[in-house]
Amino acid sequence: MSEDHQNDDEREAVVEGVGKAQASRRRFLQVLGAATATAATSQADAAPWEEYFQQHYKRLTDEDKREIFARLEAEVQDKYGVAVHISDPKPIDGVEFAYALNLQACVGCRRCEYACAQENNTSRSPEMHYIRVLQMDKGSLDVERSNTTYEGAVPTAEHYYQPVQCHQCRDAPCVRACPVNATWAEPDGIVVVDYNWCIGCRYCEAACPYFARRFNYEEPTVRPSEINPDQGYLSNRLRPRGVMEKCTYCLHRTRKGLMPACLEACPTGSRKFGNLLDPNSEVRQVIETKRVYILHEDAGTNPRFYYYFG
């Protein structure tokens, strides 16, 4: 593991170097103005073909990835004038991520939802959120009686709240549905999407019982000042139009030992996240000692997301 990580860090350092060099060259060209605009275009002209024939993530060599990441970083620099760093943290041996959410403590403030959007560079217009917070009727677990468009002060006396996001299922219907393997479960359990391989058929979205997938019907837009520059290739990098995206448990953070953004934003401590394979992890303790409830358990998806009481 440590060796892997060392290589990874070295590689990222190189990628960063390439990205910076390209970025500064592009800035220089921009300063030169209209006369060199054609030169800049011809430089960019090679990119569409490279992008069009780009292979599936799992077929890319480290060299391919370096070039692709550099290209993507340069594109963001071009389009938004923001220097971003795209990394590709690998799953860690002996780690299987899981989430537990305390239904008794959640107050429905939706801070997780907005922190998620900020962290993951999801489109602000049209507005996209991975997390849906359901306002549930007390006395019922039926999500069909829930309300997602509630407003005003929370919590109310008549309701409790249930945030829903990707459940990272062990038997994920979305993964099976995809006709081109553009989405798959990583060894640590996180279901990811190769945004450059997805053909946009939306069958995975139809298959998901948790309404966890989001499609970019329009060009996603994020204000340059709001772009999170710390980006994972399989997670929060800026997505193109016409592809699917979803929650990745913030893998660009969590694979480096940080907590997901939604958890850090939660003011009530309702959210617990960790390694299911570690007997001492908090999430494991919750599952072993609390009363746990699984949403749509009848769908047979075996999610890595647990709701609990207490």
Applying CB under 8 A, the residues found at the interface with another protein are 52, 56, 126, 132, 134, 142-146, 148, 164, 173, 176-182, 197-203, 205-211, 213-219, 241-243, 296, 299-301
- From the CB of 58, what's the least distance to another protein, in Å? 9
Question: What's the CA gap between 273 and 284, in Å, rounded?
Answer: 9
Residue among 116, 123, 56 at smallest CA distance from 253 = 116
Min separation Cβ 167 and another protein, Å? 11
Beta carbon nearer to another protein, 22 or 146: 146
The nearer residue to another protein, 131 or 227, going by C-beta atoms, is: 131
Smallest distance from another protein to CB 179, Å: 4
Residue 174 and residue 153: Cα distance in Å, rounded? 36
Tell me whether residue 194 or residue 276 sits nearer to another protein (CB atom). 194
Are 166 and 185 spatial neighbours (Cβ–Cβ below 8 Å)?
no
Kindly tell me which of 260 and 303 has the beta carbon lying closer to another protein.
303
Residue 48: CB atoms within 10 A of its CB come to 9
The nearer residue to another protein, 29 or 201, going by C-beta atoms, is: 201
Euclidean distance between the first and final Cα of the chain, in Å? 36
- Tell the smallest beta-carbon distance from residue 195 to another protein (Å): 10
Token output for 83: 């220097």
Closest distance of CB 162 from another protein, Å:
9
Minimum distance, C-beta of residue 120 to another protein, in the bound complex (Å): 16
Residue 122 or 236 having the CB closest to another protein: 122
Closest to 12 in 3D by CA, of 119, 92, 84: 84
Give me the phi and psi of 99, to 5 degrees please.
-120, 145
